[in-house]
Amino acid sequence: MLQGAAKVHPAYAAVFAESYAAADQQYAKLVRREISWGDYATFSVQRYAALRSEVAKTDQQVKAQLDNAHRYEIQQRQAAAAAYSQWAYQQQVIAAMNRPVSTNCTRISSTVNCTSY
């Protein structure tokens, strides 16, 4: 269970590990007859409620982390797109400045007509 939770997010593994450790402690007390079955059952209900609460808190934390990571990624992509757009514009300007000029000339008797493009 802990390995599966850790694959989802390490924070979940920590929450479950703490809950399992507390359950093991109470079970050891039950086996040593330091607490009754009723006390153990009460603890189990309380532990399960606490576990659900901690998982809900962890859900919110993980969601906030993912939202922040997503926002950061969008900002990085927008910055990259703007840089690429600027680079492409600069390349067009450079290409326009260095464009070769071709001139065609035609001669009809003594008249020469030239066109450059």
**Per DSSP, what are the bridge partners of residue 103?**
116
Residue 109: which region, alpha, beta or left (left: phi > 0; alpha: psi -120 to 50)? left
Taking only the tens place, the pLDDT of each residue in 58-102 is: 999 999 999 999 999 999 999 999 999 999 999 999 888 877 888
| The two structure tokens encoding residue 110 | 């003594």
Q: In the chain, how many H helices and how many E strands?
A: 3, 2
Element (H, E) at 22: helix 10-31
What is the rounded CA–CA span in Å between residue 68 and residue 40?
41
Q: Residue 52 pLDDT more than 90?
A: yes
